[in-house]
Amino acid sequence: MSFNLSERNDTIIALATPQGVGAIAVIRLSGPDAIKVTNSVFHGKNLENQPSHTIHFGTIRDGDRIIDEVLVSIFIAPKSFTKENVVEISTHGSSYIINQVLKLFIRKGIRPAKPGEFTQRAFLHGQFDLAQAEAVSDLIHADSETSHQAALNQMRGGFSSEIQELRTQLIHFASMIELELDFTEEDVEFASRADLRRLVERLLRVVEELIMSFDLGNVIKNGVPTVIAGKPNAGKSTLLNALLNEEKAIVSEIAGTTRDLIEDEINLGGVIFRFIDTAGLRETTDVIEAIGVSRTQEKMKTASLILYLFDLSDTDLVEINRDINKLENLGVPFLKVANKTDKAKPNIINELKSMHPDTIFISAGKKENLEDLKARVLELVNLDKFRTGNTIVTNVRHYDSLVKTRESLLDILTGLDNQVTNDFVAMDIRRSLYYLGEITGEITTDDLLANIFSKFCIGK
């Protein structure tokens, strides 16, 4: 997909609400002819004489034929999302009506919008920068409170303004050093090398922090990976099903039922968790099961959280202690979950309570005490981290640019250490500026733009 200049100046149309039947649907137009062409098919007031930000009742007609009774909202350039003339037509939500209206406008010379074209126009007209435009897409796709918050912060410019400010300071140094290049004979120093070093070190700290926030951002977007692990028959699949309220995984009394990883998302208190049911951990001669077991072990290493499940009806405390020891060495936070309280061996619960007071006792089969388990899961992921208004990088493209920025910043420092000549320092600074600019869109190629906006849906 590419956009040429003439395409950027015509008037576009798309359905802005989801496909399918609803009470109402909103069709949006943007471009110089949006109001004029709408007026030519609208019966009611003369829309071309109306002030911006007003709503008008009337009918859309194809010749004499009434297609629908509608409400038309008018936004006059530049006071609109795209900074162009924008019209939003609220029709009744039938796909027949929507198609009739779209066809009518296309016959009148309006072009169907490409995916993300409304947002792209907003970006091209300076409504917001690229990082913010991408946040619009994240916002549309956000399905939990925390991912919504992260996208909202980014769209409001939290992320961008931080980058902008650092970039401005660095530009200042770049210009000073470039100036020195013009005075090489004189041996002057407009830009203090000590100040430059301090700025670069500060920049590095911010960039490092943003890079680190990416892991957290990823978790917010894709869910906290939470592995349910334990011996065969501990009740792992039963627990997954109970949490999901759905028979997702096969449950049976045969040890070694689950072989593949089975996963699904659950929203707990506004945070998305990705629960992963695994093959029971044991030595096995079954080739397929062995592959499952080794996948489980891999998955445990990369998890944010492990639920270590064991069976109260078939428990060996020595074995449990050995497993807990292994988990402690793995370094991933874990919860000790004792399952099958409904058929626990005598005394075992009291013994466990004194040995491991933090054990959570549940019955996955009878869905007992699951609320307690959920609460402990939430506690463990340290919600404060998720709820801060802090800047969080959630976008792979930004992460990439930040990593490259870090490299070039480190190059500046190495250059300063080795007292390289000015033109080398200037070059490294320019490189850092370039990568920082990539994030906010000051430096873009058409390919990059097309790539970003194509990820939107039509009508956005």
Ligand X SMILES: Nc1nc2c(ncn2[C@@H]2O[C@H](COP(=O)(O)OP(=O)(O)OP(=O)(O)O)[C@@H](O)[C@H]2O)c(=O)[nH]1
Please give the residue ranges that form the binding site for ligand X (CB under 6 A).
232-238, 251-253, 255-258, 279-280, 339-340, 342-343, 363-366
**What separation in angstroms does the CA of 195 have from each of 6, 198, 209?**
47, 5, 21
Distance separating alpha carbons of residues 380 and 253, to the nearest angstrom: 31
Nearer CB in complex with ligand X: 41/228: 228
Nearer CB in complex with ligand X: 41/364: 364
Residue 155 binds which entry of ligand X, Mg ion, none, CB below 5-8 Å type-dependent: none
Q: How far is the CB of 296 from Mg ion (least distance, A)?
A: 11
Residue 372 binds which entry of ligand X, Mg ion, none, CB below 5-8 Å type-dependent: none
Residue 225 binds which entry of ligand X, Mg ion, none, CB below 5-8 Å type-dependent: none
Q: How far is the CB of 346 from ligand X (least distance, A)?
A: 15
How buried is 28 (Cβ within 10 angstroms: 0-12 exposed, 13-18 middle, 19+ buried)? buried
Q: How far is the CB of 383 from ligand X (least distance, A)?
A: 28
Q: How far is the CB of 258 from Mg ion (least distance, A)?
A: 3
Distance separating alpha carbons of residues 136 and 148, to the nearest angstrom: 10
On whether the CB atoms of residues 341 and 362 are closer than 8 A, the answer is: yes
Tell me the three-class secondary structure of 157-179, residue by residue: CHHHHHHHHHHHHHHHHHHHHHH
Residue 146 binds which entry of ligand X, Mg ion, none, CB below 5-8 Å type-dependent: none
Nearer CB in complex with Mg ion: 215/260: 260
Residue 234 binds which entry of ligand X, Mg ion, none, CB below 5-8 Å type-dependent: ligand X
Nearer CB in complex with Mg ion: 237/405: 237
Q: How far is the CB of 159 from Mg ion (least distance, A)?
A: 41
Q: How many CA atoms lie within 13 A of 390 on its CB side?
A: 17
Nearer CB in complex with ligand X: 154/241: 241
What are the residues binding Mg ion (CB under 5 A)?
Answer: 236-237, 257-258
Q: Given CA atoms 414, 164, 154, 396 in this order, what sign does their dihedral have?
A: negative
Nearer CB in complex with Mg ion: 221/236: 236
Residue 232 binds which entry of ligand X, Mg ion, none, CB below 5-8 Å type-dependent: ligand X
Q: How far is the CB of 202 from Mg ion (least distance, A)?
A: 51
Structure token digits, residue 230: 């334990």
Residue 132 binds which entry of ligand X, Mg ion, none, CB below 5-8 Å type-dependent: none
Q: Across the beta sheet with 42-43, what order do the strands follow?
A: 42-43, 54-62, 65-75, 86-93, 22-30, 12-15, 111-112
Distance separating alpha carbons of residues 199 and 188, to the nearest angstrom: 20
**3-class DSSP state of 57:** strand
Nearer CB in complex with ligand X: 98/228: 228
Q: How far is the CB of 359 from ligand X (least distance, A)?
A: 15
DSSP-derived letter for residue 195 is H
Strand pairing report for 305-311 and 224-230: parallel
**What separation in angstroms does the CA of 114 have from each of 32, 103, 109, 117, 146?**
17, 16, 16, 5, 29
